[in-house]
Amino acid sequence: MTSIPSPNGTCHLAQTKVSSYFGCNTFNDRAMKEKLPKDVYKAFRNAHRTGEPLSPEVARSVAHAMKEWAMEKGATHFTHWFLPMTGATAEKHDAFITWDEPGSVIERFSGSQLIRGEPDASSFPSGGLRATFEARGYTAWDPASPAFIIEGPGGKTLCIPTAFVGYHGEALDHKVPLLRSMDAVNRAALAALAHFGGTASRVAAQCGAEQEYFLVDHNLAQKRPDLLFASRSLQGARPPKGQELEDHYFGSIKDRVLGFMQEVEVECFKVGIPAKTRHNEVAPNQFEIAPIYEPANLASDHNQLLMEILKRVAEKHGLMCLLHEKPFAGVNGSGKHVNWSLATDGGQNLLEPGRTPEQNLQFLFFLAATLKAIHRHGGLLRAAIASAGNDHRLGANEAPPAIMSVFLGRQLSCVLDAIERGDVADASEQRILDFGLASLPQLEKDATDRNRTSPFAFTGNKFEFRAVGSSQPIAFPLTVINAAVAEALDWLTSQLEHEIATGKETAAAVLAVVRKAVTETKCIRFEGNGYAEEWKVEAEGRGLPHARDAVAALHIFEEATAKEVFTRTGIFTPEEYDSRIHIRHEQYQKALSIEAQVLREMAETLVLPALLEDLRLRADTLVKLGAAGIDVPEALKNALKGQTLLVGEAQEHLVALKAAMVRAESVDDLHACTKAYGTTVKQAQEALRELLDQAEKDCAAYLWPMPVYRELLAPLI
Ligand code: ADP
Ligand code: MG
């Protein structure tokens, strides 16, 4: 398959100017301006800016215009589209129709249907927040995220991005806390900016999420229960050629893959996702797509949508898109680089070093706040990305370590060191920072982006959180960053006000506060190799938290500082927070339980029967050779003996895995159950896998019941 199929004109669009159709399937500002009466459009913009709810009249009018627009585009159905805590997106489609006269229908879509939906929420995880008798959940339109149309094979559906809340307003999704955290960081940033004479009226967290993924041939993937049900291979001997040659990274993109990427991009552009960059990644058949950054809530919606598009378009191209953090043992896993910054409504990036002394003071203030945030909540950041999948990459010499540190680059480190020393003359002599407050030198971008081993790196005008897993929703990691930075900004601002109250000039007061923060947070700054063993030792010496795996990381959520950073600004109520912890545990346990079940079934019904058949055939041959009067060489007998022992051992490990699963399932306590899965079940699974991988190498290839790594990782041409 080398060309792009074009059931809906994709092929044509791939050769069209993107600007001519970008966002054509979104009810964006342009569409609204065109479709809404002027006063309604104004009222809507106003409500959007102030965060006030829409009046019923405005809602009715917007709903009508949205329906007309969607129907003109050929949509027949609508859905409230939301992000429950399963990590996937959820939707329930309704036709626009309603009874007109008996026996005939008309298309209708009311303001109340736009603003509020009531899906049966009882099957979505609530972490105990909702009793079944009040299982109702409500979806409420998030006007900050434009409605969009998804094209299915037989029709189109209007998707309305919504927040998902319980009967009493409790957050049941990833979006509500993210929006609340954006509010918190907005308020904190504005309060800080007031001291710098800024004129901003809003500050929004910005995010660009680079997404890595694997592609495998669909027909091959269909024959692997592990890829189908656990999204990663649970068994598979290493291929003869892995990524040793590193010839895949940034290599030329093969036509079959390019066709897929082009269609993905067209689908992205149509729904307003600003897909920008595509390239091959390090591992064979691993790729990356990166959009241009946007306000964090939009970036989060778009990343969820992008993951759906990747999977859907892959199927059309006879491929399967694997978003798992570690689909194949022995080759690099996939992550998501979450680039984060703060920008004012006037377009100023608060993490960009400026041209004037005042701008630079402001930059240093926001930089110091971010350092303070990570210093205080590095553990929480680690917990936010803890998952069964991410355990396979973090700290594994291919991904950032599980220890959270911040990389600033040499130039900025020198600046901060100079500030810490208070060494005015030295600092200006080195032309690093003139404490007479001349401008900072333009940071060499390259110099800031060399260290790929850091989990949280400053890259010139933004931070890059590199430890997020490829399948994870970015909403929660973003919520944590926003919450932690909001808290730190509040702290720095109150310190600043205190300094000013003692009679200091603003500039001197800012430097004093920055100096304090920089000194206090020094231990999380690390410029060296994050993969090195010595770093683990050094980090421990510095007292940095090091949660090696998800089991350890999930404990961090229980710490008082973690709870406080969310509850102080109302990002989570204590009940909402507890429910999240519960769900994280459940998800971890479920992921491991599914993996164990799938491996058990594969071993029992596919691999072991094949291995026994292989033994039988070999034994038969030896017997027949003997019967024919041919001396059977000892080497052949020994090989058969060795193989038999191996298969016997695999059988024993299978029994052990089953026992570990039964034991883990029966543990009631949340933490103990997580631990049982994360230790005994996981170890039993790994031990069984190791034997099966070894046996695979000896088994007759034609008897092996599944495609092997060599086939799965073969170039897609
Ligand atoms: P790389 O990390 O591969 O070198 P870039 O640094 O150019 O690539 O950009 C990576 C991602 O960071 C892109 O999605 C880009 O839009 C995003 N990005 C760039 N500037 C900002 C910013 N100020 N805030 C948030 N994200 C940003
Ligand atoms: Mg990057």
Question: Is 211 part of a structural domain of the chain?
Answer: yes
pTM for the model:
0.94
Task: Give residue-wise pLDDT tens across range 559-588.
Answer: 999 999 999 989 999 999 999 999 999 999
Q: Mean pLDDT across the stretch 151-170?
A: 88
The rounded Å distance from CA 434 to ligand 2 centre is 31
Question: Is 576 part of a structural domain of the chain?
Answer: no
Q: What is the pLDDT of residue 440?
A: 45
Instruction: Out of 571, 606, 625, pick the residue that ends a domain.
Output: 571
Q: Looking at the structure, do residues 169 and 305 belong to the same domain, yes or no?
A: no
Q: Looking at the structure, do residues 156 and 293 belong to the same domain, yes or no?
A: no
Question: How many C-beta atoms surround the C-beta of residue 715 within 10 A?
Answer: 11
Residue 438 has pLDDT above 70, yes or no: no
Average pLDDT, the chain: 89
Instruction: Out of 154, 173, 192, pick the residue that ends a domain.
Output: 173
The rounded Å distance from CA 346 to ligand 1 centre is 19
Amino acid at site 585: H
Pocket test for ligand 1, best of 339, 351, 459 (most atoms within 8 A of CB): 339
Q: Which ligand is nearest to the CA of 446?
A: 1
Q: What is the pLDDT of residue 345?
A: 94
Q: Which long-range contacts (CB under 8 A, 24 or more apart) does 4-11 make?
A: 4/259, 4/262, 4/263, 5/263, 5/316, 5/317, 7/153, 8/151, 10/262, 10/263, 10/266, 10/267
Q: Mean pLDDT across the stretch 278-302?
A: 94
Pocket test for ligand 1, best of 280, 292, 293, 446 (most atoms within 8 A of CB): 293
**Residue nearest ligand 1's atom 17 by CA:** 208
Q: Mean pLDDT across the stretch 685-696?
A: 97
**Residue nearest ligand 1's atom 13 by CA:** 208
The rounded Å distance from CA 292 to ligand 1 centre is 7
Residue with tokens 């055939």: 617
5 — pLDDT class (breaks 50, 70, 90): very low
What CATH number did the domain enclosing 669 receive? 1.20.120.1560
Question: Is 585 part of a structural domain of the chain?
Answer: no
Q: Looking at the structure, do residues 137 and 244 belong to the same domain, yes or no?
A: no
Copy the structure tokens of residue 695: 């046996």
Lowest mean pLDDT among 90-104, 305-319, 436-450, 675-689: 436-450
Determine if ligand 1 sits within 6 Å of the CB of residue 290: yes
Return the percentage of the chain with pLDDT > 90, whole number.
70
Q: What is the pLDDT of residue 57?
A: 87
Return the percentage of the chain with pLDDT > 70, whole number.
91
Task: Give residue-wise pLDDT tens across range 454-472.
Answer: 999 999 899 999 999 999 9
Read out DSSP for 583-637? HHHHHHHHHHHHHHHHHHHHIIIIIHHHHHHHHHHHHHHHHHHHHTTPPPPHHHH
Lowest mean pLDDT among 42-51, 163-172, 242-251, 653-662: 242-251
Phi and psi, residue 122, nearest 5°? -65, -20
Q: Looking at the structure, do residues 119 and 38 belong to the same domain, yes or no?
A: yes
Q: What is the pLDDT of residue 441?
A: 44
Determine if ligand 1 sits within 6 Å of the CB of residue 207: yes
Determine if ligand 1 sits within 6 Å of the CB of residue 208: yes
Read out DSSP for 247-264? -STTPPPPHHHHHHHHHH
Q: Looking at the structure, do residues 550 and 610 belong to the same domain, yes or no?
A: no
Question: Is 402 part of a structural domain of the chain?
Answer: yes
Q: Mean pLDDT across the stretch 538-546?
A: 92
**Residue nearest ligand 1's atom 24 by CA:** 341
Lowest mean pLDDT among 156-170, 352-366, 544-558: 352-366
Q: What is the pLDDT of residue 571?
A: 96
Q: Looking at the structure, do residues 142 and 206 belong to the same domain, yes or no?
A: no
**Residue nearest ligand 1's atom 19 by CA:** 293
Q: What is the pLDDT of residue 428?
A: 39
Determine if ligand 1 sits within 6 Å of the CB of residue 226: no
Q: What is the pLDDT of residue 8?
A: 47
What CATH number did the domain enclosing 272 receive? 3.30.590.10
Pocket test for ligand 1, best of 454, 462, 478, 485 (most atoms within 8 A of CB): 462
Cβ atoms of 326 and 218 closer than 8 Å:
no
Residue with tokens 């204590």: 574
Residue 425 has pLDDT above 60, yes or no: no
Q: Looking at the structure, do residues 167 and 194 belong to the same domain, yes or no?
A: no
Q: Mean pLDDT across the stretch 597-623?
A: 98
Instruction: Out of 543, 571, 599, pick the residue that ends a domain.
Output: 571
Determine if ligand 1 sits within 6 Å of the CB of residue 173: no
Q: Looking at the structure, do residues 379 and 485 belong to the same domain, yes or no?
A: yes
Q: What is the pLDDT of residue 292?
A: 98
Q: Looking at the structure, do residues 497 and 530 belong to the same domain, yes or no?
A: yes
Q: Looking at the structure, do residues 377 and 303 belong to the same domain, yes or no?
A: yes
Of 338 and 533, the one with more pLDDT: 338
Q: What is the pLDDT of residue 395?
A: 80
Residue 397 has pLDDT above 90, yes or no: no
- Distance from C-alpha of 567 to C-alpha of 575, rounded to nearest angstrom: 10
Lowest mean pLDDT among 65-69, 206-210, 481-485: 65-69
Q: Looking at the structure, do residues 127 and 267 belong to the same domain, yes or no?
A: no
The rounded Å distance from CA 100 to ligand 2 centre is 54
Question: Is 580 part of a structural domain of the chain?
Answer: no
Q: What is the pLDDT of residue 168?
A: 79
Q: What is the pLDDT of residue 378?
A: 96
Q: Mean pLDDT across the stretch 46-55?
A: 78
Q: What is the pLDDT of residue 439?
A: 37
What CATH number did the domain enclosing 11 receive? 3.10.20.70
Residue 129 has pLDDT above 80, yes or no: no
The rounded Å distance from CA 464 to ligand 2 centre is 7
The rounded Å distance from CA 585 to ligand 2 centre is 30
**Ion ligand 2 nearby residues (CB, 5 A):** 337
Q: Mean pLDDT across the stretch 619-626?
A: 97
Question: Is 320 part of a structural domain of the chain?
Answer: yes
Residue of 552, 555, 546 whose CA lies nearest to 402: 546
Residue 423 has pLDDT above 90, yes or no: no
144 — pLDDT class (breaks 50, 70, 90): confident
Q: Looking at the structure, do residues 17 and 93 belong to the same domain, yes or no?
A: yes
**Residue 502 lies in domain:** 182-428+441-571
- For the chain, what is the domain count? 3
Question: Is 116 part of a structural domain of the chain?
Answer: yes
Read out DSSP for 162-197? EEEEETTS-B-BSHHHHHHHHHHHHHHHHHHHGGGT
Q: What is the pLDDT of residue 412?
A: 86
What is the Cα gyration radius of the chain?
28
The SS3 call for residue 34 is helix
